Structure 1
Amino acid sequence: MATNFIGLDTEKARNLADALNDLLSNYQIFYMNVRGYHWNIKGANFFELHLKFEELYNDLLLKIDEIAERVLTLGHRPAHAYSSYIERSEVPERKDVSDGREAMENVVDSFARLIAKQRELLAMAGDANDEGTVALMSDYISQQEKTVWMYRSYLGQ
């Protein structure tokens, strides 16, 4: 078995990097959607949601950087073109959303997609003995499950 410079099976590391680039693409589209919600939100809950969306996009931006750096740590190149992100993302691009409820429903849906992808990555990373990716995905999942519960509660679900 050939290993990379951090001691992981090269084929498994390549597969993990590809899956992380897929996740990165979803995060980038989600990030831009949330920026749009922040900029365009209107209505009775403007102040509350405007701040909540800013908090969320700042967190997403940190995770985007962490994911890209994990791809580099595995010895691969992170995706860095919006055309690639659009092609790969399962989180749909959302345009001109100004309704708070619609924006929050989109956020909950996007988190569901991210959590599912992160669970897949968690299993792949475990199989590859890649503790760094395991820890990253585990942290994201536990944080986001609580966030989804809170956002769903806001929606009355």
Structure 2
Amino acid sequence: MTDTNSIGLHSGSASQLAEKLNDLLANYQIFYMNVRGYHWNVKGSNFFELHAKFEELYTDLLTKVDEVAERILTLGHKPVHAYTDYVKLSRIQEDKDVQDGEACVKGVLQGYQALIELQRELLALASDADDEGTAAQAGDYIREQEKTVWMLNAYLGK
């Protein structure tokens, strides 16, 4: 009898990947709520463009939350789903009462930087486990978010 799951990955590797994906899921959930808050509360001369941009970003983040949770299930594990777990697991901290447009953009940048770092860790782990599905997902997210970081830095004049 082999020690593999239903998609042919070693069970121990799948467990490690699911744990790292749950960390990623927690970070996505906290970041999603931060960006949603920026959308609701941003004020200033760039309100209209930032309000629209934040909506675009949180809509994308919500899609990724679902995709990460489904990947955990595909690996044969259970995604965390309690907000208390998200707060405990997340590197990204809740950002409260931010209204200044530039501060909101900086919060978005910090969130993406944390996600990219986590996804690089996940990519390495997935590559070592020969998990092309998780590696491809992480790689796609990294590529897309690196471009977003570049654009937000350009917006801030960096």
Please indicate, yes or no, whether the TM-score normalized by the shorter chain is above 0.5: yes
Aligned to 2:13: 12
Query: What residue identity is the alignment partner of 2:93?
Result: P
The Cα of 1:91 is off from its aligned counterpart by 0.5
Report the Cα offset of residue 39 of structure 1.
0.3
Give the distance between the partners of 2:40 and 2:146, measured in 1 at CA.
25
Deviation at 1:50, TM superposition (A): 0.2
Which residue in 2 is equivalent to 1:77?
A: 78
SS at match of 1:22: helix
| Aligned-partner Cα distance in 1 for 2:42–2:89 | 27
Query: Partner of 1:3 in structure 2?
Result: 4
Corresponding residue for 2:135?
Answer: 134
**How far has the Cα of 1:84 moved from its partner?**
0.1
Q: TM-score, normalised by structure 2?
A: 0.98
Q: 2: distance between equivalents of 1:69 and 1:152?
A: 31
Which position in structure 2 is the counterpart of 1:87?
Answer: 88
Residues paired across the two proteins, number: 157
* Post-superposition offset of 1:56: 0.1
1:156: which partner in 2? 157
Post-superposition, which runs of at least 4 consecutive aligned residues in structure 1 deviate over 4 A? Answer: none
Superposed CA RMSD: 0.6
- Residue 21 of structure 1 and its aligned partner are, at CA, apart by 0.2
Aligned amino acid, residue 104 of structure 1: V
- In 2, Cα distance between equivalents of 1:137 and 1:74: 15
Taking the aligned partners of 1:10 and 1:33, their CA distance within structure 2 comes to 34
Gaps of 5+ in 2: none
Give the CA deviation at 1:142: 0.3
